[in-house]
Amino acid sequence: MMRVLVTGGAGGIGLAIARRFHAEGHRVLIGDVDRDGIDKALAAHPGMVGARCDVSQVSEIDALFESVSTHLGGLDVLVNNVGIGGPTAPADELPSADWRAVMDINLTGTFEVTQRAIPLLKASAGTIITLSSAAGRYGYPNRIAYATSKWGLIGFTKTLAMELGPFDVTANAILPGAVGGERFDRVIAGRATVSGRSVAEETALGLASQSLKRIVPPEHVADLALFLTTPAGRSISGAALPIDCDLQHG
C-alpha cells in the first residue's frame, strides 16, 4: 500500500489521479485551495483524506505536510498537479501581477511542496510525478505565463531525476494535451474570446493538428500516473511523457 499526496486534487486531472490510486487500495491525501471541492471528493471516496492548501503560501504548505505526517505517516508518491492557467492575453498586454501569480503557483509552489517531500521520498525510495502540459513542448500564443511555467517544470523534473536517482527516487513529468473537463472548456472559451471565433471553431482548430481527433479523458492521465509507480514505470526517470493524442508540434 502506497502513501500518496496529490496537490490540486479536488477536481479535474488531480481528482482523477487521486481516485485511481484510491481505487487500487492506496492511502491518498489531496491538497487543494478549494475546500468545498475537497469535501465533495472525500464524501464520494470514503477513506481518502484532504487538507486545504494554497501553495503560494508557505505556511499552508507547512500545514499540508503536518497533515501528511498525521494521516499518512510518510510518503511514497508525490503528484505535483496543482497549477493555474492565468488569463488569455498577448505578452504585451499581460499584467505583471498575473505573470507572477502563475509563476508563484505553477513553479514556486511546486518547488516548495517538492522540497518538503524529498526527505520523505528518500526514506521510501519513492516517486515524483509532475503535471506539465503539451504547452511544455511548444509555444502557446496568448498564454505565455502558462507555457513558460510548464516548460520550466520539465527542467525541474529532469534536474530532480539526476539529483535523486542515487536515492532510488524517480521523477517524471506528464504532459497532457486537451483533457476533457471544466478547465478545458474555460480555455477554449478564452481562446474564442480573443480570436473572435466560436467555441466549436476553436475546438476544431485545437484538434486539427492531432493524429487522434479526440480529447483525452482525465482517467487516461490517471492510468499513466499509476503506471509510473509500478516496477516497470520505476525504470523510467527524467522523462517528459506526452499524453495528447500525438500533437504534431515537435
Active site residues: 146
Nearest to 237 by CA among 132, 147, 126: 126
Joined grid coordinates for residue 112 = 516548495
Counting residues of the chain whose pLDDT is more than 70, the rounded percentage is 91
Neighbours of 236 (CB within 10 A): 14
Neighbours of 219 (CB within 10 A): 14
Q: What backbone phi and psi angles, to 5 degrees, belong to 22?
A: -65, -40
Better-predicted residue by pLDDT, 213 or 169 = 169
pTM of the complete model: 0.90
**For the ranges 13-17, 114-118, 158-162, 245-249, which has the lowest average pLDDT?**
245-249
Q: Looking at residue 134, what is its pLDDT?
A: 87
Buried (b) or exposed (e) across 138-174, using 16+ Cβ within 10 A? eebebbbbbbbbbbbbbebbbebbeebeeeebbbbbb
Q: Looking at residue 151, what is its pLDDT?
A: 98
**pLDDT tens-digit series, residues 7-31:** 999 999 999 999 999 999 999 999 9
**pLDDT tens-digit series, residues 113-136:** 999 999 999 999 999 999 999 889
Q: Looking at residue 183, what is its pLDDT?
A: 65
pLDDT bin (cut points 50, 70, 90) of residue 250 is very low
Asked if residues 56 and 111 have their Cβ atoms less than 8 Å apart, the reply is no
**pLDDT tens-digit series, residues 37-46:** 999 999 999 9
The verdict on domain 3-178+217-243 having CATH code 3.40.50.1950 is no
Average pLDDT score over residue span 213-238: 93
Q: Looking at residue 7, what is its pLDDT?
A: 98
Nearest to 174 by CA among 207, 104, 127, 139: 127
Residue for grid cell 504585451: 92
User: Any idea where the domains of the chain sit in the sequence?
Assistant: 3-178+217-243
Distance CA 116, CA 121 (A): 9
Asked if residues 116 and 67 have their Cβ atoms less than 8 Å apart, the reply is no
**pLDDT tens-digit series, residues 61-119:** 999 999 999 999 999 999 999 999 999 899 999 999 999 999 999 999 999 999 999 99
Q: Looking at residue 104, what is its pLDDT?
A: 98
pLDDT bin (cut points 50, 70, 90) of residue 50 is very high
Distance CA 188, CA 202 (A): 6
